[in-house]
Amino acid sequence: MCGVVGIISTQKPVAGELYESLIHLQHRGQDAAGMMTYNKRFHEKKGTGYIRDIFDEQNMARLQGKVGIGHTRYPTVGGFSVEEAQPVMTHVPHGIAMAHNGNLVNYNDLVNEVNEQDHRLINSSVDIEVILHIFAHALDHPKTDIKNLSFFDQICQAVDTVFHRASGAYSVIGTIMNKGMVVFRDPHGIRPLVKGVRQNNDGTTDHIFASETTMFYALGFELDGNVAPGEVIYIEENGTVHSRTLKNEQFTPCIFEYVYFARPDSIQNEISVYRSRLRMGQNLAKRWKEQYPDITPDIVIPAPSTANTAALSFANELGVRFSEGLYKNPFIGRTFIMPGQEIRKKSVRYKLVPQEFEIRDKKVLIVDDSIVRGNTSKEIVRMVREFGATKVFFVSACPPVKFPCFYGVDMPTRGELTAAHRSVSEIEEYMGVDILMYQKIDDLVEAVTRKGEHNIDRPCMACLNGQYITGDVDEHTMERMERQRNHERSKQK
């Protein structure tokens, strides 16, 4: 999972606002980040770690220009070095830079094709470099005579080539030297990509594109909808906007954005993430009352902090006191987002401290956003028991996660997913809880899609139901990709 942002202004340099945007996207990736702007040439700065540690006054001063893109990286494939950081660029044609959020299912095949057929070098293991070279090669070798084509038509041809060759999830923001900004989203719209506008005093308009709306208010941008699935947008340096939808499949955005990844103040695909989480808690509590009418906890505690919202509405619906019984140290990164199982295991106690006065001698119900690997949940249960809970119930706002994600979220192999090889009662026993209850799939979909002027056909839920929207992930492909991911992980240890 990653965060991506692009800003194009007719009036002022964009580096400062890209920096602020990345701060507002930091929750989407803490491994590495980068920024690339241009005036007469490209200027870039990349590094590993937090945004605040990568950029300083000196390197920010170099990032000149009124067009630029930024990226914060959380690797699902590829390495953890600065070489794997985005944006990436190619000199031919024009000079093109790109960054994205997503993951390609047919990455390996495309690398071979790009190397052998297109004679272009892939110099990293990040998917966006493949997309960049497919786009650049297509732009440099147009299918038809360009004499009668506008530059936007040429861009459309190049993006169309990407859509036909690249399978998977990709929300892409790019810049083309001395031309402007190009933006596109895969035909299923799996990963988010919002757009915003800001009016200038001279009547011109600045544009922003980003994974989330989280920086819009701070920077004075207004939400202008989403980049549609299969849509390409080109904005010239003078602010002229061109847009066209090239390919339109079922609109299936990732449901896990609402469950876990997106910041609660985000609006994604016209749906408030915060409100969807409230509805998740509400639906869960209704099920609890149906299934356990005679069991009422004394307090409802969220596993902080993504589950706070669902826990709040769960407690309201049940008429039980909401308690912040687990204090979270805000200066430690999200455990789910840290590479490496051992680090993850160790960091739970370091990060969370149970509040004894809230827990001792009480029947405690813990609400978590999801149970992916199960280690964090197990550790939380153990801590709550150590602090004197008489009963521990655990509910998950997300149904069991049983399948790997090949669209950009770190759920790499079935071997690491607790629900892939355990029944609910086995997970209950593994976690050491008195009752474990999961959200039902239909209740989750209802919670996400109940409100909002959205046009979602059905969200992607491949990690929950094994139905991979791109249609090219069968058992054989899954096993091959799992083997590859295990191999990559073993190299990183």
Residue 378 contacts residue 333 (beta carbons within 8 Å): no
283 beta partners: none
Least separation in angstroms between CB 359 and ligand SF4: 32
254 catalytic? Reply is no
Least separation in angstroms between CB 410 and ligand SF4: 9
**Whose CA is closest to 176, among 150, 194, 145, 151?**
151
Residue 336 contacts residue 410 (beta carbons within 8 Å): yes
Nearer to ligand SF4, 9 or 418 (CB): 418
Least separation in angstroms between CB 56 and ligand SF4: 34
CA distance 300 to 322: 5
Least separation in angstroms between CB 371 and ligand SF4: 14
Nearer to ligand SF4, 7 or 469 (CB): 469
Least separation in angstroms between CB 4 and ligand SF4: 16
Nearer to ligand SF4, 220 or 471 (CB): 471
Q: In sequence order, what are the residues at sequence separation of 6 or more whose Cβ sits closer than 8 angstroms to the Cβ of residue 331? A: none
Least separation in angstroms between CB 186 and ligand SF4: 11
Marked catalytic residue, from 2, 156, 254, 398: 2
Query: Per-residue b/e over 402-436, b at no fewer than 16 CB within 10 Å?
Result: bbbbbbbbbbbbbebbbbbebeeeebbebbebbbb
Nearer to ligand SF4, 228 or 326 (CB): 228
CA distance 351 to 342: 15
435 beta partners: 393
Q: If you search the block for the tokens 């990286």, which residue do you land on?
A: 73
CA distance 340 to 140: 41
Nearer to ligand SF4, 314 or 468 (CB): 468
Q: If you search the block for the tokens 């639906």, which residue do you land on?
A: 283
| 3-state DSSP assignment of residue 101 | strand
Nearer to ligand SF4, 435 or 441 (CB): 441
Q: In sequence order, what are the residues at sequence separation of 6 or more whose Cβ sits closer than 8 angstroms to the Cβ of residue 277? A: 258, 264, 309, 310, 313, 369, 397, 447
Binding positions for ligand SF4, rule: CB under 6 A: 190, 254-256, 405, 407, 409, 460-463
Active site residues: 2
